[in-house]
C-alpha cells in the first residue's frame, strides 16, 4: 500500500498549555536509506511532551520541532533503500526524538523492536519509553543483582511500574514512594514489596528504609523526582549504593551531604534517552529487544495503561498527564 502524501498529526501551535495543541494535516515523512516509515497505530505521552509543549524542552536535531510524542507502536509502511532487517507490515515499537503523535513517522531501523503478537496496539505503545528507560537504568547502568533492594520514587508512574516489574524479574526486592496511598496499594499488584507516601517531609524515607532493610540501606535507587528527595535517598542508601537520576519533577537542584557520599562510597549517575547518539539508541534498543521483549511474550511483564484518548483529544490527554493523578501510561489511539 502506498502511504498517503499527507497525514494527521498533533501540532504544538505555540508554547503554552494543552489548548495550544491542534490536530492538523502535514506532509507524510519520507524514510532515508537506513530508516523505516511507520504507520503509527498508538503512541503514549511522557513528561518531556509537556515540557516541549510549554517551550522548555525543544526537540533534538532531526526530530519534528512541533510534533510531540516519544514512543509509538505501529506497522512498517515503507523501507529505506538500505534496510534489510524488516518487511512491510511488521509490527514494531520504539522510542523516537519526537513526532510520535502522528499517523506516520520515520525511525532508524535499528531503534525499533518487534511487538509481541499478543499485545494490542495501545498496550504496546505503553511499553517502550518506560521499559527501555527502566531496564537501561536499573540493569545496564546500575547493575542490579539478585537479592538487592531497589527504591523507586514516583512508583505509580510508567517508568516506576516498569521498574517494579523489572526488579522482580531480576530477583531484586522493589520498594517505592508516591504522593498518595492508593498508588502504593495499586503498585503492590505489580510486585512492590512495600512503600510509603511522601509529602513535604521527604526524610520519612529514611526510617522506612531502615525498617525494610533491617538497617542495611537501599542498594539501588531510581530517582524520578530529584529535588528534596536527594538528601533523604543518600542517607537511606547502603554502602556502595547506586543512585540513578532519571527525572526532576520535584526540582532540578538539591543540597547533598558530600561527606556521606564519600563515606558510603556511593555512585550518583544521571541518565537520559532523548539526547543520546544514534549508536547509543541502537544499543539500548538491542538490549531491550534481547532481554525485555521476551518477558512480555512469556507474560512475566505487562504494560500499565492509565487511560486511552483518541488523537483528536490530545489536549485532554496532556491535561490528564499533568494532573499527577495517573497510574501508568496515558496512551493515544491513532485509529
Mean pLDDT (whole number) for 186-194: 98
CA neighbor of 311 nearest in space, from 12, 29, 41, 4: 41
What is the pLDDT of the chain when averaged over all its residues? 97
Q: What is the pLDDT of residue 34?
A: 98
Q: What is the reported pLDDT for 75?
A: 98
Q: What is the pLDDT of residue 274?
A: 87
Query: 221-256 pLDDT, tens per residue?
Result: 999 999 999 999 999 999 999 999 999 998 999 999
- How many DSSP H helices and E strands does the chain contain? 11, 15
Average pLDDT for residues 261-276, to the nearest whole number?
95
Query: Domains of the chain (ranges plus CATH)?
Result: 6-127+274-333 (3.90.180.10), 130-270 (3.40.50.720)
Task: Read off φ and ψ for residue 169, nearest 5 degrees.
Answer: -65, -30
Closest residue by Cα to residue 91 from 128, 131, 40: 40
Radius of gyration of the chain, Cα coordinates, nearest whole angstrom = 20
Over residues 167-184, mean pLDDT: 98
User: What pLDDT does 275 receive?
Assistant: 85
> Is 80 exceeded by the pLDDT of residue 189?
yes
The pLDDT tens digits for 26-44 are 999 999 999 999 999 999 9
pLDDT of residue 1 exceeding 80, the answer is no
**Mean pLDDT, residues 159-167 taken together:** 98
Cα separation of 280 and 277, whole Å?
Answer: 5
Q: Hey, how many other C-beta atoms are within 10 angstroms of the C-beta on 239?
A: 11
Average pLDDT for residues 46-71, to the nearest whole number?
96
Share of the chain above pLDDT 70, in %: 100
**The pTM of the whole model exceeds 0.85:** yes
Q: How many CB atoms neighbour CB 116 within 10 A?
A: 18
Report the relative pairing of strands 112-114 and 104-108 from DSSP bridges: unpaired
pLDDT recorded at residue 91: 98
Q: Where are the beta strands (DSSP E) in the chain?
A: 6-12, 21-27, 35-44, 71-79, 91-95, 104-108, 112-114, 149-152, 173-178, 194-197, 218-223, 237-245, 267-270, 305-310, 329-333
**pLDDT greater at residue 1 or residue 327:** 327
pLDDT at 108: 98
Strands 218-223 and 149-152: parallel
Q: Does the pLDDT at position 72 exceed 80?
A: yes
Residue 209, number of CB atoms within 10 A of its CB: 24
Amino acid at each position: 500500500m502506498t502511504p498517503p502524501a499527507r497525514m494527521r498529526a498533533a501540532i504544538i501551535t505555540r508554547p503554552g498549555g494543552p489548548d495550544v495543541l491542534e490536530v492538523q494535516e502535514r506532509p507524510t515523512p519520507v524514510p532515508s536509506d537506513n530508516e523505516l516509515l511507520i504507520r503509527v497505530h498508538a503512541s503514549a505521552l511522557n513528561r518531556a511532551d509537556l515540557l516541549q509543549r510549554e517551550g522548555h524542552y525543544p526537540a533534538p536535531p532531526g526530530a519534528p520541532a512541533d510534533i510531540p510524542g516519544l514512543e509509538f507502536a505501529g506497522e512498517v509502511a515503507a523501507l529505506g533503500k538500505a534496510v534489510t532487517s524488516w518487511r512491510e507490515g511488521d509490527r514494531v515499537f520504539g522510542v523516537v526524538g519526537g513526532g510520535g503523535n502522528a499517523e506516520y513517522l520515520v525511525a532508524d531501523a535499528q531503534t525499533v523492536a518487534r511487538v509481541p503478537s499478543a499485545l494490542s496496539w495501545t498496550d504496546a505503545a505503553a511499553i517502550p519509553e518506560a521499559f527501555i528507560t527502566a531496564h537501561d537504568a536499573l540493569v545496564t547502568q546500575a547493575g542490579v543483582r539478585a537479592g538487592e533492594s531497589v527504591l523507586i520514587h514516583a512508583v505509580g508512574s510508567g517508568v516506576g511500574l516498569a521498574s517494579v516489574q523489572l526488579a522482580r524479574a531480576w530477583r531484586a526486592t522493589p520498594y517505592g514512594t508516591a504522593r498518595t496511598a492508593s498508588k502504593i496499594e495499586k503498585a503492590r499488584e505489580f510486585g512492590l514489596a512495600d512503600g510509603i507516601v511522601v509529602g513535604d517531609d521527604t526524610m520519612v524515607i529514611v526510617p522506612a528504609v531502615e525498617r525494610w532493610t533491617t538497617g542495611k540501606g537501599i542498594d539501588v535507587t531510581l530517582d524520578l523526582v530529584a529535588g528534596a528527595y536527594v538528601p533523604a535517598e543518600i542517607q537511606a542508601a547502603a554502602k556502595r549504593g547506586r543512585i540513578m537520576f532519571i527525572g526532576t519533577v520535584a526540582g532540578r537542584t538539591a543540597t547533598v551531604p558530600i561527606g556521606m557520599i564519600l563515606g558510603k562510597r556511593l555512585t550518583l549517575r544521571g541518565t537520559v534517552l532523548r539526547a543520546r547518539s544514534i549508536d547509543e539508541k541502537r544499543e539500548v534498543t538491542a538490549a531491550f529487544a534481547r532481554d525485555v521483549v521476551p518477558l512480555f511474550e512469556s507474560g512475566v511483564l505487562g504494560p500499565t495503561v492509565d487511560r486511552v484518548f483518541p488523537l483528536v483529544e490530545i489536549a485532554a490527554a496532556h491535561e490528564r498527564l499533568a494532573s499527577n493523578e495517573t497510574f501508568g501510561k496515558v496512551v493515544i489511539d491513532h485509529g
